[in-house]
């Protein structure tokens, strides 16, 4: 095998890795469930490369993510369900259906088919998927919110659930009532803490997070993006604390909390950190 620009080579490499006799023992023993966490991790690493503006890393991470697609397709082919070509056919068909204003005839273009075409196509595809799963006797999430994927990151799923509920009017009309709800959930969390009920604490903490996601939605702030920004800010400031201690001949392990807090406040006040 030699490196190649052609997808067929990657497909052949995966087939070789999965060969029960001559393949890699680790690759051979994997299944969809065991590989799924790696698929999610690679998607996040793609997003991380984009956030850092590192296009060299982005090339590498996109390759890693593509490998995940090929891996899942290979396992499905071994099970006699579908192959990589079927995956490509499915997505190309979907893109053509969802863009009649691009791939349709002149009439479709002139009548402005772009408006609503994407959502109409998605609704039709979901209905077909539900019917197929029902016919196959597969379990389905019931109700209006049943098609919001369970495997989404919790903050993102909370946002999706709220957005969909809002389409039928189940929503506050402004941020202010959500702030009141956050105050209410905060008080309920205090009460759970006072009662030393760990299950109640976890439940009320979840309710508070859900309300905070709702506030972000009303403010037009994506919760995952906002928390990612805060994570980066925390890391940046903590590194500044670490660097300041090292410059004094100290260390994180040896420093007192008061000393670390003083360096934290200095890092927080730097203009490069936005002063927040």
Full DSSP string of 9-48: HHHHHHHHHT-TTTS-HHHHT--HHHHHHHHHHHHHHHHH
- pLDDT, tens only, 164-185: 999 999 999 999 999 999 999 9
State the Cα–Cα distance between residues 37 and 267, nearest whole angstrom.
Answer: 36
What pLDDT sits at residue 275? 45
Strands (E), the chain: none
What pLDDT sits at residue 250? 95
Instruction: Name the band, by pLDDT with cuts 50, 70 and 90, for residue 276.
Output: very low
Contact of 141 with 150, CB cutoff 8 Å: yes
Mean pLDDT over all residues of the chain? 89
Strands (E), 36-164: none
More confident residue, 271 or 7: 7
Predicted TM-score (pTM) of the model is 0.65
Q: pLDDT > 70: what percent of the chain?
A: 90
State the Cα–Cα distance between residues 69 and 77, nearest whole angstrom.
Answer: 12
Q: CA torsion, points 214, 174, 183, 265, in degrees to nearest 10?
A: 80
pLDDT at 224 over 70: yes
* Candidate from 25-39, 52-66, 134-148, 227-241 with smallest mean pLDDT: 134-148
What pLDDT sits at residue 110? 55
What pLDDT sits at residue 212? 97
Sign of the Cα torsion 118, 120, 123, 124 reads: negative
SS3 92: helix
Q: What is the mean pLDDT of residues 132-141?
A: 70
Kindly list the distances between the CA atom of residue 46 and the CA atoms of 59, 225, 232, in Å, as whole numbers in the listed order: 9, 14, 17
Instruction: Name the band, by pLDDT with cuts 50, 70 and 90, for residue 216.
Output: very high
Number of helical (H) and strand (E) elements in the chain, helices listed first: 13, 0
Q: What is the mean pLDDT of residues 146-168?
A: 90
Reported for 44-50, long-range contacts at CB under 8 A and 24+ positions apart, including other chains, are none
Kindly list the distances between the CA atom of residue 35 and the CA atoms of 157, 168, 214, in Å, as whole numbers in the listed order: 21, 37, 32
What pLDDT sits at residue 117? 66
Q: What are phi and psi of 186, to 5 degrees?
A: -65, -40
Instruction: Name the band, by pLDDT with cuts 50, 70 and 90, for residue 116.
Output: low
* DSSP state, residue 4: -
């Amino acid at each position: 095998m030699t490196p190649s620009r052609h997808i067929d080579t990657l497909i052949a490499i995966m087939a070789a890795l999965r060969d029960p006799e001559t393949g890699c023992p680790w690759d051979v023993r994997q299944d969809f469930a065991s590989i799924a966490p790696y698929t999610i991790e690679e998607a996040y690493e793609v997003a991380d490369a984009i956030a850092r503006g590192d296009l060299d890393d982005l090339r590498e991470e996109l390759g890693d993510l593509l490998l995940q697609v090929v891996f899942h397709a290979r396992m499905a082919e071994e099970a006699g369900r579908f192959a990589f070509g079927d995956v490509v056919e499915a997505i190309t068909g979907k893109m053509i259906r969802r863009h009649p204003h691009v791939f349709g005839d002149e009439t479709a273009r002139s009548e402005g088919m772009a408006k609503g075409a994407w959502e109409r196509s998605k609704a039709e595809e979901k209905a077909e998927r539900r019917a197929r799963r029902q016919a196959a006797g597969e379990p389905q999430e019931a109700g209006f919110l049943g098609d919001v994927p369970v495997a989404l990151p919790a903050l993102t799923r909370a946002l999706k659930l709220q957005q969909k509920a809002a389409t039928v009017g189940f929503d506050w009309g402004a941020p202010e009532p959500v702030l009141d709800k956050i105050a209410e959930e905060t008080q309920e969390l205090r009460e759970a803490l006072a009662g030393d009920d760990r299950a109640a604490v976890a439940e009320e903490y979840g309710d508070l997070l859900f309300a905070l996601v709702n506030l972000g939605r009303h403010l037009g702030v994506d919760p995952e993006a906002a928390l990612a920004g805060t994570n980066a800010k925390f890391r940046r400031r903590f590194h500044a604390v670490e660097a300041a201690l090292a410059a004094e001949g100290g260390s994180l392990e040896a420093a007192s909390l008061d000393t670390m807090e003083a360096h934290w406040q200095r890092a927080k006040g730097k203009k490069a950190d936005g002063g927040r």
